[in-house]
Amino acid sequence: MPYPAENIINIVTNIRAAGLGTANFGAGMVFADFDSSTDATFAEGSYRDYGGASAVAADFSIASDPYLAALAWFSAVPKPRSLRIYLRQENDSPVESLNDAINKRIWFYWYEFETTIRANDADVLALIAAGDAAGKFYAGTTNQSSVRDPSLATDIASKAKLQGSRRSFLLSHATAPYAGFELGAVFSRVNFNAANSTITGEFKKLPGIVAEDLTSTAYSAMKEKGAPFYTIVETGGQVDAGRVINSRSTSSFGEFIDDVFNLDGFVNALIVNLYNALANVPTKLKQTPEGQQVLIDAAAQIGQRFIDNGYLGPRQYTSDETGEEVLSDGYEILSKADDILDLTDAERAERLAAPIIMRLFRAGAIHAVDVTVNVD
């Protein structure tokens, strides 16, 4: 037999693993009461995916909350691709249902419950807190008239603002049960990998939702309590029928909905890119400045991606090193590759990298403008 060439040329093949992908921030879920479905085969504690409201109507009455929530979700423009409905178990509390879905690794980001649950403020506040802790965003609606009364602080919007959870908002509407869920659906179509894709909730239209014409007192109360609303905008007899105004979350940091949502998207992308840079090396990522630079570059890639999608933008800031004003494109990485040379023996033994410190500058969004007109 011939002499094997493999005895002379020894080739080792290293295959790059796929690694992690970023989270699906477009996934919405409605938690339906155990007795809501008209399909007896829909088991409690399970979920189904639907591609439109008509598909939901096959499993739920068109008068049911799950159908009305789906109708709002799929009315958003652009239209979401899908909606999940989880059928709650009979004896579970709302928070237990939420945690059950999370523990079963049923993925969702935006979520809502039936209006019977929203009738109990304590349940809503508990859901918001539990969802926030789990990284889920409550796209809620409140039909309480007291939200529009500045003399009252016992309404759900006031209570939620006092609680201060970041991942929730409560859109105030007199009659529409799922107006807020439709606003969540608008955000669900954001693709963080696409250029100029990030949005603000302000001025968005909600097809199928009646725009309200309210008093100045009601508007002021909702603004003070941090409750978004859907209203008619008018000037000089001309009417714009339907815009979301005051698109704030319930965050104690005073954040708008997009502030919270975009940061979640950024953090997830940063985790994924750093993990893949670390785990997908065929040999190893060396504990040297060269290896540290790989991680810094991975972080920089996400910074640039989120400049491109519109979350981050130019800003003048004061440099901590020089004290001078510096123009940033949207982010700064304050760490250097040589920082890894300063690791302690214990840190090196734990196979740690040097910490990476980033500073982000949000592009924000313009919601109002002041104009001075000087007439000569």
As a whole number, mean pLDDT of residues 76-93 equals 97
Q: 7: which 2 tokens?
A: 């005895």
With respect to residue 276, please indicate whether it lies within any of the assigned structural domains: no
Q: Say how far apart CA 292 and CA 340 lie, in whole Å.
A: 7
Three-class DSSP category at 372 = coil
Reference 69, options 58, 77, 57, 78; nearest CA is: 57
For residue 248, the Cα-to-chain-centroid distance in whole angstroms is: 13
Q: Are residues 70 and 170 in the same domain?
A: yes
- The count of structural domains within the chain is 2
Let me know whether 302 and 256 are in one domain: no
Q: pTM of the full predicted structure?
A: 0.94
The Cα–Cα gap between 250 and 256 comes to: 8
| Pair 207, 77: CB distance under 8 Å | yes
- Domain with 302, as residue range(s), is 281-360
Please tell me whether residues 246 and 291 are part of one structural domain.
no
Same domain, 335 and 200: no
**Is residue 19 over pLDDT 90?**
no
DSSP tag of 145? G
- The pLDDT tens digits for 168-199 are 999 999 999 999 999 999 999 999 999 999 99
Other C-beta atoms closer than 10 Å to the C-beta of 358 total 16
Q: Which region among 146-160, 226-240, 266-280, 317-331 has the lowest average model confidence (pLDDT)?
A: 317-331
pLDDT exceeds cutoff 80 at 327: yes
Please give the mean pLDDT across all residues of the chain.
Answer: 96
Both tokens of residue 188? 């669900």
The answer on 147 and 231 residing in a single domain is: yes
